Amino acid sequence: MFDLILTQTLNGLASASSLFLVASGLSIIFGVTRIVNFAHGSLYMLGAYIAWTLVSRFGPADALGFWGGVVLAALLVGMIGVVIEVLILRRIYQAPELFQLLATFGVVLMLQDLTLATWGAEDKLGPRAPGFKSFVILFGNRFPTYELFLIAVGPLVLLVLWLLFQKTRWGTLVRAATQDREMVGALGVNQRLLFTSVFFFGAMLAGLGGALQLPREAVNLHMDLAMISEAFVVVVVGGLGSVTGAYLAAILIGILHAFGILIFPKITLVLVFLVMAVVLVVKPYGLMGKAPVGHARGHGPAEPLLLPADNLTKLAGLIGLAVLALAPLVAPDHILLTLTELVIFALFAASLHFMMGPGGMASFGHAAYFGLGAYGAALAVKWLGAPMEPALLFAPFLAGIAGVVFGWFCVRLSGVYLAMLTLAFAQIAWATAFQWVEVTGGDNGILGVWPSSWAASKFAFYYLALIICAASILALRLTIFSPLGYALRAARDNPLRSEAIGIDVMRIQWIAFIVAAFAAGIAGALFAFFKGSVFPTYMAIPRSVDALLMVLLGGVQTVSGPIVGAFAFAGLSEQLMKATMYWRFVLGFSIVLLVIAFPRGLVGASLLGLERWRGRPEAAAKPVLATEAGR
């Protein structure tokens, strides 16, 4: 038993090394540039692919060929990081955090398809490392020497990083920028060069992490997302910006994995995110992290005032609704199906907007509540034998209850930490659905969640969805202009002043969180009956990103934006998926363009254009006022 514990500890330490390399790069980049680089997992994957190509070309049996290939691959990935930084990220350092996160997610999508196009879809089994092909006997078990080598790499890199940061001018600048980058800029340091070099360095570490995996596992196209979600956990648990913290967290997660397999083989995925949530709740800035100086909150442009609809807007909304209501009379079946989906997504987007726009709480895991709504409906049908009507009523409460619990913790944080905690909770929900096979069916999902016979026709279900979604969206809209909505916006714009005039900020935000979760649950339940089945993918990261994209495409600072955004995004991505095999690339590219060119979203941009065209003097004055208020 004792020997098994020791061996499994070593296994955990070996897996921790690659995780640490990726996570430390991510952490350094965040510390200096304040960008949470979603594409870091993709750089890790590229490292593995490039190393595979180089090593096969240089001759895998030759020590120089192998190690030369690995090092060169890491350097090349560093260069790719520089290209990404110069072409994309440099333009969005001033944008709100969420936009940056989205832009890097766009890069993930693009790199996924570029990798597919370059290396093909087949898995690549790399060669074993020369000099490390064998094993040693440790504690009565055979243990691969390469794993021992990996165990040594972690502390070695940590040492190098420490020397670099303590003993060189560059390292000092990086540490200074991590503490207060405005001050570093004010003191005359070339920020551009610093940021680019940091990005090169971080990307190189990720590439090295990938290249070192070559003898360990087959290189494949799913490495990027698998790694990035773990690396996020490590960085957040360790404390954003702290390299030592990242090392401790990587070891913690690696060992947790190794023993999880031994003790709880069926809940390994949940364990990791559970640890992350617990750490964030107990130590919001991670094990070794410090509360950020100055920039706890986003520093994007201040939010403009929201105004209740004037008559023209009401008319437009009414016409839009009328068109949707009359559409089934002329639309063929497949258009009707698309419209049903769009209507449901509009509610999903509106619910996210409610907490993100007026609430100022950017959620990176909103799919959890959509998925819980869907699972609520499906579980009611499967385990309680409920027909559609009670299941539809029950489902949003499951999402709402999750909102009560998760929200209570989330509203205690703000900005990127809040987004990370919502992500952790969403991943817990996802992992539970994925691994609790007895109840949720795991990866098989729950099938046979079909509507009652009166609503089974496409025609009837469309009207059911339209009525429920339109009513819910209107209710959300009314809430935004209710006293609760005003209090919420006050809390977003200035928490201190709001507290001073007697608004319980956390409570208001908590309520908004719950309302948003509940509304997303309604959308999810409808979606379950619409598709007839639910799967864990309903609450996976890509669905949360979809929701964010819909809101941002429409514009966060407008009330109708998310609805327009939902129609634009869902319509576009469906057409794309049919039109080209490389739809991910096109979608990713559009996201990046959107973030760079239309940071206010479609509705926001058109509103701005309209105001300029009308030349209203008060419109010009408004942003100034809003900026003042935002401070």
Partner 1 sequence: MTIDRRNFLAGASAGVTLIAAPSLVRAQGTGPIKVGEINSYTAQPAFLKPYRQGWELALEQINAAGGALGRKIETVFRDDGGKPEDAVRHAGDLINAEKVDLLSGGFLSNVGLAIADFALQNKKLYVASEPLSDALVWAKGNRYTFRLRPSTYMQAAMLVEEAAKLPAKKWAVVAPNYEYGQSAVKWFKELLKKAKPDVEFVAEQFPALGRIDAGATVQALEASKPDAIFNVTFGADLSNFVRQGNTRGLFEGRVVASMLTGEPEYLDPLGAEAPVGWIVTGYPQAEIKTPEHVKFRDAYMAKFSDYPRLGSVVGFDTMNSIAAALTKAGSTDTEKLVDALKGLEFPSAFGQAEYRAVDHQSTLGAYVGRTAVKDGKGVMVDWTYRDGAKYLPADDVVKTLRPAG
Whether the CB-CB separation of 403 and 513 falls below 8 Å is answered with yes
Least distance (Å) from partner 1 to the CB of residue 132?
Answer: 10
Count of residues that interact with partner 1, criterion CB under 8 A:
81
Least distance (Å) from partner 1 to the CB of residue 422?
Answer: 22
Q: Which residues have C-beta within 8 Å of that of residue 628, sequence separation ≥ 6?
A: 302
Residues 567-586 that bind partner 1 (CB under 8 A): 578, 581
d(CA 205, CA 216): 18
120 belongs to the binding site for partner 1 (CB under 8 A)? yes
Whether the CB-CB separation of 81 and 70 falls below 8 Å is answered with no
d(CA 209, CA 218): 14
Specify the residue for token string 């509106």. 350
Residues 408-437 that bind partner 1 (CB under 8 A): 434-435, 437
Q: Which is nearer to partner 1, 195 or 538 (CB)?
A: 538
Sign, CA torsion 235/238/241/244: negative
121 belongs to the binding site for partner 1 (CB under 8 A)? yes
The number of beta carbons lying within 10 Å of the beta carbon of residue 204 is: 25
**Both structure tokens of 399:** 């999402």
The amino acid sitting at 275 is V
Least distance (Å) from partner 1 to the CB of residue 556?
Answer: 14
Residues 207-266 that bind partner 1 (CB under 8 A): 216-218, 220-222, 226, 257-258, 261-262, 265-266
The amino acid sitting at 630 is G
Residues 390-409 that bind partner 1 (CB under 8 A): none
| Residue from 390, 340, 342, 353 nearest 520 by CA | 353
**Both structure tokens of 292:** 């950020």
Least distance (Å) from partner 1 to the CB of residue 515?
Answer: 21
Residues forming beta bridges with residue 533, ordered by sequence position: 447
Least distance (Å) from partner 1 to the CB of residue 431?
Answer: 9
Q: Which is nearer to partner 1, 79 or 322 (CB)?
A: 322
**Both structure tokens of 350:** 């509106």
Least distance (Å) from partner 1 to the CB of residue 528?
Answer: 11
| Residue from 325, 410, 309, 369 nearest 516 by CA | 369
Q: Which is nearer to partner 1, 103 or 347 (CB)?
A: 347
610 belongs to the binding site for partner 1 (CB under 8 A)? yes
> Residue 141: phi, psi to the nearest 5?
-115, 150
Q: Which is nearer to partner 1, 296 or 474 (CB)?
A: 474
335 belongs to the binding site for partner 1 (CB under 8 A)? yes
- The 8-class DSSP code of residue 131 comes to T
Least distance (Å) from partner 1 to the CB of residue 298?
Answer: 24
Q: Which residues have C-beta within 8 Å of that of residue 368, sequence separation ≥ 6?
A: 402, 406, 422, 425, 426, 429, 430, 539, 544
141 belongs to the binding site for partner 1 (CB under 8 A)? yes
Residues 511-540 that bind partner 1 (CB under 8 A): 531-533, 535, 537-538
Q: Which is nearer to partner 1, 610 or 624 (CB)?
A: 610
Least distance (Å) from partner 1 to the CB of residue 566?
Answer: 14
Q: Which is nearer to partner 1, 5 or 83 (CB)?
A: 5
Residues 304-333 that bind partner 1 (CB under 8 A): 309-310, 312-313, 315-317, 319-320, 323, 327, 330-333
Q: Can you tell me which of 71, 86, 116, 401 binds partner 1, judged by CB under 8 A? A: 116
